[in-house]
Amino acid sequence: MTAAATYLPLQNGETVLLPERLADLTGLGEFGVAGELLAAFVAAFIVANIMLAMTGVAGPWAKRKITAAFTDRIAVNHLGPGGILIIVADSVRLLSKENIIPENADRPAYDLAPIVIAGSALLGFAVIPMGSGIHLADPEVGLAFVFAVAGIASIGLMMAGYASGNKYSMLGGLRAVAQNIAYEIPLVVTGMSVVLFAGSLQMGTIVEAQAEPLVTIAGVTIPSWFALVNPFAFVLFLIANFAEVGRNPFDMPEAPAELIAGYQTEYSSVYFVLVYLGEFLHIFLGGAIIATIFLGGPAGPGPAELGIVWFLIKIWGVFLLTQWLRSAIPRVRIDHLIEIGWKGLLVLAFANLFLTAAIVGVIA
């Protein structure tokens, strides 16, 4: 079940889905431009704080607990129930540290890099339909927009590596660019196969295209989520996304055993917090994209008001999978990783695109 929606009639008699907006839910839209702007600011505040809160829980606490469960160890358990207050302890510890700037740092780039890394992820959530009326914008090029702004993080990683004045950081920045290019192209190409099915780049339309039931078996209705319609594309997208966000076993730009944290070696205090925050924000952005274009967005059983709940459950499911891979798969060599992206994943992504185009052409 999707969130309540409005349909805009077109001249040819067809209709286009307009996702439910906070301005309509709250009645602020009746106050004209001022009401629309206020609703947009409120929605942006809600989205940003939801994502920042999730990141605050995931980084210091959830990651440790999940990894410990997978590896049969005991994680943080002394501060608060289940160690949950480690979030507060880590925040105070990191923010109270001295912010040490390398002598040879290129200050403008060094200072801006953490903001670029974290900001690019937050900007991507602007076009993600989360359900329950929380959708900041739904442009016709929504999917292209989210891919574009997510790719800005590569610039931030390169800025951090170059501006640190450290050979390990520089190597980390170069690795980040090489890895992101190698896997961002298959990511986009695989995403285009979804566009062929939905017939639009608009995120709201992609969600609506998955609203119809696919098949009913023994009284159980299976939704037409694109993960079920095209599971091959779903698996390809997952792999490319995991490499794109750069977490284990794809964390070659920071590989501690080789590059001493790579592009973030010289960052401390609040700068390190921003870089670390950016990493997890990109994991959740990747999960949000996967949930939107493959898993029906905020669709789920129950009333439409629960859309945001189902959406967040799907994002956390993707996060759980990243931590599972982190514990189960060893890190590969950087040359092997790049080779897999260019010679394996890219070929499979184009094969999937051509096959999808053929199927859509036959159906049409």
Cβ–Cβ under 8 Å, residues 237 and 193: no
- Domain enclosing residue 199, as ranges: 78-363
Is residue 42 in a domain? no
Is residue 120 in a domain? yes
Is residue 8 in a domain? no
Residue where the block lists tokens 């442009």: 139
Is residue 9 in a domain? no
Per-residue pLDDT tens for 278-328?
A: 888 888 999 999 999 998 888 777 666 777 888 899 999 998 888 888 888
Is residue 24 in a domain? no
Residue 364 has pLDDT above 70, yes or no: no
Is residue 64 in a domain? no
Q: Could you give the number of structural domains in the chain?
A: 1
Is residue 208 in a domain? yes
Q: What is the pTM of this model?
A: 0.84
* pLDDT given at position 235: 92
Helices marked H in the chain: 22-26, 32-57, 63-70, 86-95, 107-124, 142-163, 167-198, 203-209, 226-229, 231-245, 256-259, 269-294, 307-328, 334-339, 346-363
Is residue 296 in a domain? yes
